[in-house]
Chain A
Amino acid sequence: MLQHAIEDIKLEDIKQPNIKPKEIKKALKMAVMSLFSASAYAADNPWQVETSGLLYSESDSRVSAVEPVVSARKEFADEHYLNLKLVVDALTGATPSGALPSNSVQTFTRPSGNGSYIIQPGELPLDNTFHDTRVALSANWEQPLSDRLRGQTGVNFSQEYDFTSLGVSGNLARDFNDRNTTLSAGINLENDWIKPEGDIPTPFAAMQPEGAVQARGDSSDSKTVVDFLFGVTQVINARTVMQLSYSISQADGYLTDPFKILSVVDDATGDLVTTDAYRFENRPDKRSKQSLYWQTNYRLDRDRISFSYRYFWDDWDIKSHTLDLSYRWNFAENQFIEPELRYYQQTQAEFYEPLLLASDLLNDTLPEFASADQRLAEFNAVTVGVKYQRQLANNQHWNARLAMYQQSGEGSPDGVFGSNAQFDLFPSLTAVIAQVGYGFEW
């Protein structure tokens, strides 16, 4: 029986394959040509370079910044990418020092101890000492590790006048479910060193007049930050992609801002005390942050909507919500306009204090930690912007973005009383962001 089957097949096969001679030569040449035309261009991919310049300018001559960025990406082998990025920030201007406005002229000593600046009555004290340039470099390599697994590893370095940061990162992403689901896990390790002008202030030490000896500790300090990131990306349907991620971060070390101070006021009147009226702040040396992030991209027939929400909380008792919405209007084949709207809101840190009470200093009942840094206060912010991009020939494009940022907080937060109640401790801040970019292949 079996033997028969075999014999049948063999007989069947004696007929020669059915190839038409005239067609085969052409077909064969085509097959060989397409094999080589394909593999030839994979030989060397160009660098994809993005350049941009950003201008950030706060109202009332506060901070202004210029930020050029150059990034480059190249595929070295199939899906093996090297990413490089250089960012330079040049900042000038003034930021709130943490001190309260006053009815009289206030004089503050510069961090170096050699020099001072004056704030007029009724004005929010801004420290204009800082003038810094930051250079940040990062390199990142990504490649497939197996059919479904991709790996990424990177280093980053940044340097400022008084601050150095060095970090390494690694990330693994695995596809499941016909590549409709991607799970990822990543880790970042960072070490930062700070060496402030005039050394590290002693917590709650009084700011001494210009030329006097300041109460200072070590000349430098450091912190370490460990971040873990877990994410899932899910293709919902042909139009919708969702991403959900959770991150947890632990910082240990010097987390205080050595330039921020608090005003000491009289318990009854709220007036500044006459001696040792400014004290350096003090923050915990640990901070544990967590966040949940959800993003959805929805592709319409022509346009694209992107929405994201982030909930952040930490053990300093700051909670924040960030909502982001953008609509990419592809009104022409090679151009788009993308309006964006972003809303941010945060609660204050548990040790945020607009001021210190003279009695607490006298009775040694100061809180363990206190800071009047506005970034730790309750506030909200809205960003409204629009981006335009135009695609050119040869894989070049340019774009321009204009955005406005408005921040507002509680002008008279809890704990403010007496003569301080007349001042706006959190005047609204408006900033303009202008950005131009150009991308090309090299």
Chain B
Amino acid sequence: MGLNGNALHINQCAGGLVGRFRAMGCPCEIVLYGQPADLKPAMQQAYQCVVQLEQKYSRYVEGNMVARINAGQRVEVDSETVHLLEFAQRCYQLSDGLFDITSGVLRNLWRFTKDASVPNIEAIVGLLPLIGWQKVDWQPPYIQLRPGMQIDLGGIVKEYAVDQVAQHIESTPLSGFLINLGGDIYVEQQDLSYPAWRIGIERPDAGPVITLEIRRGGVATSGATHRYLWHQGKRYGHILNPKTGWPLEDAPQSITVASNTCTEAGLWSTLAMLQGIHAEAFLAENSVQSWCYR
């Protein structure tokens, strides 16, 4: 199963198994501890769960539900997707329209590489009519986009997949596990005779590595240190404002949040990022356990 080069590679580690594969455009890692006989089936099951969600929600899989939605068809979506789209709608409302799953078309213009430049302004303005969740005809379970509009659930599905895998493998009696899909993480280590999981937090500055000790919960990071472009002496981060088509100004370089679930952590970190200059204050006000770097 899986696409070329995305196959699951399983290795032994002390008392457990490590599975590595690529999914959702990221390197992924799953570590399981428990009875040796249980581990391999649980690993396969976890991997399948990720692959299925990727197939179902990737924008790059021909003919899947997202492709049909993006082709402008009126699509009746299944119950899982209803809840994901409802969640996306809540994110849109909570962020006052900044967290918008229809903003993906902007990424066709903006390239965040070392030698990239600011795109043509007409092109940006030309895209704005195609952006805005409020323009989507969403009458659960039916969705229809205006011609040219697209949705991208990538900002939600990776964290969701982490939590779904965690839920799936809880049916296997494991002493502990870690699920890491490209930096979005959920861990469990309920057995107190074992140490808690230690998660290193990537930071863009050269400061000492921060290690988070956690027994159960989700960790997610927004922002990426290597995804920005310089233009006229100004640094543009890769988080785009769907209302203007331009990158958000004064956003931190990265925000890592620890919370009950990976989805919750991901939503906090994204919402904080969208606060721009006020990100730290926003996190502090809501007493979110977080690490914010500029």
Contact = CB atoms under 8 A, between A and B. Distances in A.
B121 A6 contact: yes
A362 interface: no
B60 interface: no
A213 interface: no
A3 B121 contact: yes
B150 to A, nearest CB: 17
A6 B122 CA distance: 9
Contact of A17 (B84, B90, B96, B263): B96
Contact of A24 (B163, B249, B271): B271
A318 B275 CA distance: 79
A34 interface: yes
A393 interface: no
Interface stretch (A7-15, A371-379, A408-416): A7-15
Interface in B67-99: 68, 73-76, 78-80, 82-84, 86-87, 90-91, 94-98
Contacts of B98: 17
A16 B278 contact: yes
A212 interface: no
A34 B75 contact: no
Contact of A34 (B86, B122, B268): B86
Contacts of B249: 14
Interface string B233-258: 00000000101101001000000000
Nearest to B282: A21
A77 B163 CA distance: 19
A246 B240 CA distance: 57
Interface string B142-181: 0000000000000000001001100100000000000000
Given A42-B79, A42-B80, A6 B244 contact: yes
Contacts of B244: 6, 9-10, 12-13
Contact of A31 (B65, B91, B121, B124): B91
A179 interface: yes
A332 interface: no
A35 B271 contact: no
B83 A35 contact: yes
A28 B278 contact: no
Nearest to A175: B76
A9 B268 CA distance: 26
Contact of A35 (B87, B95, B243, B282): B87
- Pick from A10, A30, A179 the residue with the most CB of B within 10 Å: A10
Tier of interface size on chain A:
35 or more
A16 B80 contact: no
Contacts of A147: 65, 68, 73, 75-76
Contacts, number: 97
A317 to B, nearest CB: 47
Contacts of A17: 95-98, 274-275
B144 to A, nearest CB: 11
Contacts of B243: 9, 12-13
Nearest to A39: B80
A28 B87 contact: no
B94 A28 contact: yes
A313 to B, nearest CB: 39
A238 interface: no
Contacts of A25: 286
Contact of A28 (B82, B124, B271, B285): B271
A183 to B, nearest CB: 17
B264 interface: yes
Contacts of B68: 146-147
A32 B94 contact: no
Given A2-B122, A13-B241, A35 B286 contact: no
B248 to A, nearest CB: 8
B73 A27 contact: no
Nearest to A78: B78
Given A24-B271, A38-B79, A38-B83, A2 B241 contact: no
B16 interface: no
Interface string B252-294: 0000000001011001100100111110001001100000000
B91 A2 contact: no
B26 interface: no
B125 interface: yes
A78 B79 CA distance: 8
B293 to A, nearest CB: 20
Contacts of B83: 34-35, 38-39
Contacts of A19: 94-96, 271
A12 B249 CA distance: 12
A2 B124 CA distance: 11
A32 B95 contact: no
Nearest to A15: B96
Nearest to B78: A78
B55 to A, nearest CB: 13
A13 B245 CA distance: 11
A182 to B, nearest CB: 13
A331 interface: no
A98 to B, nearest CB: 55
Contact of B263 (A14, A21, A35, A146): A35
Interface string A142-156: 000011000000000
A14 B98 CA distance: 12
Contact of B275 (A13, A16, A35): A16
B267 A28 contact: yes
Contacts of B63: 146
A5 B68 CA distance: 34
A39 B164 contact: yes
Nearest to B99: A17
Contact of A27 (B94, B122, B274, B276): B94
Contacts of B263: 32, 35-36
Contacts of B91: 31
8 closest cross-chain pairs (CB), A and B: A17-B96, A38-B83, A78-B78, A31-B90, A21-B285, A35-B87, A9-B244, A32-B264
6 contacts: A9-B243, A25-B286, A32-B87, A32-B264, A35-B84, A178-B74
Given A28-B94, A32-B264, 20 more contacts: A2-B121, A2-B122, A2-B125, A5-B125, A6-B124, A6-B125, A6-B246, A9-B243, A10-B244, A12-B243, A12-B244, A16-B277, A16-B278, A18-B96, A19-B96, A19-B271, A35-B87, A36-B163, A39-B83, A179-B76
Interface of A: 2-3, 5-6, 9-10, 12-14, 16-19, 21, 24-25, 27-32, 34-36, 38-40, 42, 78-79, 146-147, 178-179
